[in-house]
Amino acid sequence: MSTNSEVWVWAEQRNGKLMDVSLQTLGKALELSQDINGRVAAVLIGDDAGALAEELVSYGAEKVYLVADAQLKNYQSNAYTRIISELIEQYQPEMMLFGANIIGMDLAPAVAARVRTGLTAHCSDLKMETIDGKSQLVATIPGFSGGMIVKISWDEKRPCMATLSSGAAEKPEPDQSRQGEIITVDYQATEEDLKIQTMEMVEKQPAATPVEGAAIVVSGGKGIKSEDDVKLIQELADVLGAAVGGTRPARDAQWVVEDNLIGSSGKTVSPKLFISIGASGAAHYSCGFQKAKYVIAIDKDPQAPIFEVCDLGIQADLNEIVPALIEALKTT
Amino acid sequence: MALKIAVCIKQISDPEYFSQITLDPVTGSIQRDKVPAILNPLDENALEEGLRIKEKYEGSKLTVVTMGPPPAREVLDWGLALGADEAVFLSDRAFAGADTLATAYTLAEYMGKMGNPDIIICGNMTEDGATGQVAPQLAELLNIPHVTSVSEVEFIDEATIVAKQNIEYGGYLKVQVQLPALIAVVKEINEVRDVTAEGLMDAFDKDFTTLGAAELEADPDLIGNAGSPTKVVGTFKQEIDRQKEILSGSVQELAQKVREKLSEANIL
Ligand SMILES: Cc1cc2nc3c(=O)[nH]c(=O)nc-3n(C[C@H](O)[C@H](O)[C@H](O)COP(=O)(O)OP(=O)(O)OC[C@H]3O[C@@H](n4cnc5c(N)ncnc54)[C@H](O)[C@@H]3O)c2cc1C
Ligand SMILES: Nc1ncnc2c1ncn2[C@@H]1O[C@H](COP(=O)(O)O)[C@@H](O)[C@H]1O
């Protein structure tokens, strides 16, 4: 199938604000479009979204497909799926990327199923690679055993679609002098669209300091076994002015908030210091702090794979070492 | 109001044993020998929600469906013991190697041709695949609306539900949906029940149907490996360039050491 060599990004807006993960995804799309000598285009759906389209241009979008209508203010899964699928059929992009947040993960699979193409979830990276003499898009996702990474590619169907984890790519620097083409697309609601309607959207402020963007992250795993342990970790974080993240079991036990899950299903962080406590170091987790400048790992098991991915490993029981650390670091 | 309810469930490797799962370095396929299997935890919540709806609307019928290899039938037996009325097992060698689209297609072939449910309930995500893609793709292939990340569902009338869709930081969307529709649920939607001795006994008398590719009249190009547009093309060992200095000893000394290292590295 021949395509127009465009790399598309779904630019999600909520209440008139572009989502950070969409801008990060745009950063990845810029990289990929250079590799394939193509162009980057954003698909923007909302009510009065003209100013956001300009903003996307300043971030590097060479084209913006803008679909604006009062009915489209909030995400509506049927309408958004239809709009994007029809645009794909009309313009035939080479790739289409979505941020892997909750709404992105609701929408991307539906679009992929409607246009019958492949979709890879929660990619930690995407690049062009030569396989069997052909340049192809390859996604990397963590595999099971310690540090194994799986590479996934697409068959001949286009666009190649992927959702990119939050923090996996960098948001480009905006530049007001950039020029781009804004293509406005008309919207007419169909009976199908109206089968599902968002009546209300309530956004909340993070209850805990978000791990994304934090200079220091303290992250706990299943080694946390009680509320007291949670307090201990929090105390260490407070001493350091750090955000608290954690592994999936820690999240499931509600020791850390859902939004601060570290790893392929959660956030990818790049703080100057990352302290992992009582987490074994599964690839799904450690891919989330690969970009940290300095990593300290605390675990009582000397064989834990976490010690393979840290700068400084401390083999100790968290109940003993964390209070000592709090003491030692308080006085800095 | 009697509803036809279908709940999609999947057997997964027990997450307690994830560190023992290895990958075949050549094919990239997962080797899970000796790793115990369980029902995907969120699918228990999906089933619980299905049971609650069934109990609320007399005459409703709940079908549990899975696609998987022969051992996966266990999760259906479990579903029957918990209170599902019938089980449908989609199992065929030709289904093997399916990515999410091929999985969704196979489930949709059953739902569309034989199931015709008013409401399909899925887990929001499986713990071993964690794509969360199957549910929206199944809905799309059936041409019905879907809502993921559902933490509350309320029936307005027999053809309309309102679902609460959780989004980041505790926010949410209130979504009104016309049935037939699919919802994918998160853990907080309910507390799951335990199986009873009576439930276990009753399970033996319930309908259990196994269907293969031929019975579904599935297009061979759309199932299993052949029907999967994404492919594993390789695996590699992640090389991480870190100092890997591992220390043990008295915690006071270790704590001092951490402090020194952090000042050396100019972090504190
Ligand atoms: C597709 C997929 C996606 C996934 N996505 C993610 C993800 O995004 N994020 C994620 O975290 N996981 C994810 N997982 C799960 C991941 O594979 C691991 O199961 C998980 O990271 C393990 O968490 P853990 O290290 O906290 O628990 P464990 O592996 O059980 O490790 C606990 C560690 O704590 C240590 N410990 C126990 N007590 C103490 C103590 N008192 N003091 C010091 N140390 C102690 C133990 O020695 C052990 O090393 C995913 C899995 C799959 C299949
Ligand atoms: N093989 C399968 N058989 C039945 N249901 C499935 C299967 N795979 C996924 N599902 C359903 O889709 C949900 C999301 O799965 P996933 O997309 O793999 O994260 C699960 O919680 C199940 O409800």
Tokens of residue A9, six digits:
């990004």
Interface test with A, best of B179, B239, B258 (most A CBs within 10 A): B258
Chain B contact for A320 (CB, 8 A cutoff): yes
- Does the distance separating the beta carbons of A114 and B247 come in below 8 Å? no
CA distance A181 to chain B (A): 32
Distance A160 CA to ligand 1 centre (A): 31
* DSSP sequence for A57-82: HHTT-SEEEEEE-GGGSS--HHHHHH
In this prediction, residue B23 has a pLDDT band, given cuts at 50, 70 and 90, of low
Cα of first residue to Cα of last residue in chain A, in angstroms, is 61
The residue in chain B having the minimum alpha-carbon distance to the alpha carbon of residue A140 is B235
Chain A contact for B236 (CB, 8 A cutoff): yes
Please tell me the predicted confidence (pLDDT) of residue A103: 98
Rounded distance, CA A263 to CA A268, Å? Answer: 6
For residues A271 and A215, the answer to whether their CB atoms sit within 8 Å is yes
The residue whose CA has the least distance to atom 20 of ligand 2 is B123
**Other Cβ atoms closer than 10 A to A321:** 24
In this prediction, residue A3 has a pLDDT band, given cuts at 50, 70 and 90, of confident
Question: Which chain B residues are within 8 Å of A314, Cβ to Cβ?
Answer: 246-248, 254, 258
- Does the distance separating the beta carbons of A154 and B247 come in below 8 Å? no
Per CATH, the homologous superfamily of domain A6-184 is: HUPs (3.40.50.620)
Phi, psi (rounded to 5 degrees) for A199: -90, -25
Which residues fall within 8 angstroms of residue A18, CB to CB, at 6 or more apart?
Answer: A11, A12, A52, A55, A56
CATH number of the structural domain spanning residue B54: 3.40.50.620
Please tell me the predicted confidence (pLDDT) of residue B29: 65
* DSSP sequence for B61-100: EEEEEEE--GGGHHHHHHHHHHT-SEEEEE--GGGTT--H
Mean pLDDT of A178-183: 97
User: Is pLDDT above 70 for A2?
Assistant: no
In this prediction, residue B25 has a pLDDT band, given cuts at 50, 70 and 90, of low
pTM of the model: 0.95
In this prediction, residue B27 has a pLDDT band, given cuts at 50, 70 and 90, of low
Phi, psi (rounded to 5 degrees) for B129: -105, -40
CA distance B22 to chain A (A): 5
Of A113, A206, A273, the CB nearest to B104: A113
Q: Three-state SS for B169?
A: helix
Q: Which amino acid is present at A25?
A: T
- Does the distance separating the beta carbons of A309 and B261 come in below 8 Å? no
Q: Within a 13 Å sphere around the CA of A316, how many CA atoms are in the beta-carbon half?
A: 26
B111 DSSP 8-state letter: I
The CATH number of A216-330 is which of 1.10.1040.50, 3.40.50.1220, 3.30.1330.60, 3.40.640.10? 3.40.50.1220
Phi, psi (rounded to 5 degrees) for B75: -70, -30
Rounded distance, CA A317 to CA B155, Å? Answer: 50
User: In which residue ranges of chain A is CATH 3.40.50.1220 found?
Assistant: 216-330
Q: Which residues pair with A129 in a beta bridge?
A: A136
Average pLDDT, chain B: 94
User: Is pLDDT above 60 for B234?
Assistant: yes
Q: Is residue B161 part of a domain?
A: yes
The predicted-structure confidence for B49-72, as pLDDT tens digits, reads as follows: 999 999 999 999 999 999 999 999
Q: Look at the block and give the residue holding tokens 């790049």.
A: A270
Distance A148 CA to ligand 1 centre (A): 15
Q: Which residues of A292-313 are buried (b: 16+ CB within 10 A; e: fewer)?
A: bebbbbbbbeeebbbbbbbbbb
Please tell me the predicted confidence (pLDDT) of residue A266: 94
β-strand pairing of B37-39 with B30-31: unpaired
Chain B contact for A17 (CB, 8 A cutoff): no
Phi, psi (rounded to 5 degrees) for A302: -65, -20
Q: What is the CA radius of gyration of chain B?
A: 22
In this prediction, residue B26 has a pLDDT band, given cuts at 50, 70 and 90, of low
The residue whose CA has the least distance to atom 29 of ligand 1 is A280
Phi, psi (rounded to 5 degrees) for A324: -65, -40
Per-residue CA distances from A72 to A22, A98, A310 (Å): 18, 18, 46
Number of domains in chain B: 1
Ligand 2 atom nearest to B90, measured from its CA: 3
The predicted-structure confidence for A253-287, as pLDDT tens digits, reads as follows: 999 999 999 999 999 999 999 999 999 999 899 99
Rounded distance, CA A59 to CA A45, Å? Answer: 17
Q: Is residue B226 part of a domain?
A: no
For residues A76 and A197, the answer to whether their CB atoms sit within 8 Å is yes
Alpha helix ranges (H) inside chain B: 41-56, 73-82, 100-110, 134-142, 197-203, 213-216, 251-264
Per-residue CA distances from B235 to A128, A263, B71, B177 (Å): 16, 18, 27, 42
The predicted-structure confidence for A65-114, as pLDDT tens digits, reads as follows: 999 999 999 999 999 999 999 999 999 999 999 999 999 999 999 999 99
In this prediction, residue A145 has a pLDDT band, given cuts at 50, 70 and 90, of low
Q: Three-state SS for B17?
A: helix
- pLDDT over 90, % of chain A: 92
CA distance A65 to chain B (A): 23
User: Is pLDDT above 90 for A128?
Assistant: yes
Rounded distance, CA A191 to CA B181, Å? Answer: 15
- pLDDT over 70, % of chain A: 98
Q: Three-state SS for A308?
A: helix
Q: Is residue B238 part of a domain?
A: no
In this prediction, residue B128 has a pLDDT band, given cuts at 50, 70 and 90, of confident
Mean pLDDT of B217-245: 92
Distance B100 CA to ligand 1 centre (A): 25
Report the range of poorest mean pLDDT among A140-144, A167-171, A227-231, B119-123: A140-144
Comparing CA positions, the residue from A14, A19, A30 lying closest to residue A212 is A19
Tokens of residue A224, six digits:
């946390």
Q: Look at the block and give the residue holding tokens 């065929």.
A: B92
In this prediction, residue B18 has a pLDDT band, given cuts at 50, 70 and 90, of confident
